[in-house]
Amino acid sequence: MLSRRSFIAGASAAYFGSWRKMDAAIGAVVRPAAGPAESGVIATRIGNFYYQAPNGIAFIKDDAAAFVMNPGGSHNAGTVAPDDSFHRVVFLPAKATPNVHRVEFQWSRMGDAIVGRLQSDEQGEMSFTLSENWPGFSTRFFAGTDGVEGIATLAGGKTVTWRLKSHPTPKSADENQFTVMLGGPGKPTYLVAGFGELPSLDGIDSMLAEAQHAYEKRRTKARGPSGDILAAITDKATLGSAYAYEPAYPKTESDADRAAAESFHLLNNVFFLHAARHGDYPTLAFHSGVPYETMGFRPGDEKTLQVPLDWIGVHYYERLAVSASGAALQPAAGQRNADPFASLRTEHFNEGLRTDSGIKVWPRGFYDLLMRISRDYDHPIIEITETGGVYFDAPGADGLIHDQRRIDFYRQHLAEMARAMSDGARVRAYHAWSLLDNFEWKDGFALRMGLTYVDFATQKRTVKDSGYWYGRVAAAGRLDV
């Protein structure tokens, strides 16, 4: 029996779509910006540094200033920078006097404006190219009395005006760029940009200090860019990552096949999980050690790789039989290292029932996988982010969908999960794939994996027998319903 505290059932295509978008967005924005090697400056970012945000929030990146004229927020990418969030970037300016080699930019959002502070290593000046780069509108730039202004024409003809002011006032400004003076150490340049009445330039130091204090207080235990971005958003989020697993079993009991199965597991299943947990890659995944030089691994990368995940997500659909191919490992033309997968041969077992997509149903593999992750990674919290099967059961004469095979599928997998939990696996949640018959990226609408039947022509939704059964399981916290 599963306790209601430990057993959480239910998921939807919309949930996973949002989760994947968040994951993709974070992956796209947290990579440190690379400065020229000869400068000796390492470009770093602290906090979230977004390329698009609603409410006309402006940002500065390297030698460009971009101003988002999008009050409706229809072109958002990533997560919105909240009020009082703190952000910091260090970079080598491309358009500055030659003696300036390092500029630090700190900023925070304050309502419909941002406040920022530029600090340079030497006295000089720096120019910013005015750039729009935002879909759905065009912008006209011109010099204002104490800074730069822009008028954006949105879809439908509506116009929105923003302003950017600086202290000291800009040395020059026109429709293409503006140039500010840099005072060197201890003499920052202040910026404020946004709509309507802007915050005072005199209070930026205290505003940034308060934002940084709030940021540090919120910051999660996770190190590296992911921890930074979460801390800038909320203090309630936990950090996890989901991986697709295919438990690998040796095709025969030979030592070669056992080694091949282990190598496949390390390469295919836990390669990135291992990196996040330990800051390196599993040595036994390769025949002659990890090719760090070929991978371009640099000192300090281990700190970037390592993220103490609060939980680990698991996708499980099938197991594989792995054997040694017997092929001599030779690097391909122009390559220094051989492809480690070339020494492996994978195939499907013949045992077990098949789903309508041909995948073999093997619930025992689910148990083995959960126990292997638990043993190898110090019993982490696990969240089952995807399992499911394709069954083409359609409405019968009574208009209902009697998909007993899907019920059997979930009952067997949940039973194996419960067994793993009894044996020490710390599973906190289970998400079925999927709530609805949905669009799959590779197969379109051809596969039906939902607990709810969707008539794609009319969009009518009918809960299947499996959906009603799954709901009872979720409500009762046990399988005998």
Over residues 90-133, the pLDDT tens digits come to 777 777 899 998 888 888 877 667 788 999 999 999 887 665 44
Mean confidence (pLDDT) of the chain: 77
Rounded mean pLDDT, 159-185? 84
Residue 479 DSSP label: S
CA distances from 170 to 104, 128, 146, 450 (A): 18, 11, 7, 59
Residue spans of alpha helices (H) in 279-427 = 292-295, 301-305, 363-376, 404-422
More confident residue, 224 or 33: 224
Hey, what are 260's tokens? 């091949």
More confident residue, 302 or 414: 414
Task: Specify the CATH superfamily of domain 240-476.
Answer: Glycosidases (3.20.20.80)
Rounded mean pLDDT, 330-342? 63
Residue 46 DSSP label: E
Of 155, 56, 185, residue with least CA distance to 109: 56
Q: Is the pLDDT of residue 57 over 90?
A: no
Residue 79 pLDDT: 34
Residue in this structure with the two tokens 């909320």, named with its chain if needed: 234
Q: Is the pLDDT of residue 60 over 50?
A: no
pLDDT band at 460 (very low <50, low <70, confident <90, very high): very high
Residue 217 DSSP label: H
| pLDDT tens, position by position, 343-367 | 888 999 988 899 999 999 999 999 9
Rounded mean pLDDT, 327-350? 71
Q: Is the pLDDT of residue 27 over 50?
A: no
Q: Is the pLDDT of residue 428 over 60?
A: yes
Residue 154 pLDDT: 61
Alpha carbons 207 and 214: distance in angstroms, whole number: 11
The letter for the amino acid at 447 is: L
Rounded mean pLDDT, 122-145? 70
Q: What is the pTM of this model?
A: 0.62
| pLDDT tens, position by position, 61-76 | 333 344 432 323 333 3
Alpha carbons 450 and 433: distance in angstroms, whole number: 7
Of 78, 37, 74, residue with least CA distance to 59: 78
Which is it for strands 381-386 and 147-153: parallel, antiparallel or unpaired? Answer: unpaired
Alpha carbons 92 and 102: distance in angstroms, whole number: 5
- In sequence order, the 6+-apart residues with CB closer than 8 A to the CB of 14 are 435
In the chain, where does the domain assigned CATH 3.20.20.80 lie? Answer: 240-476
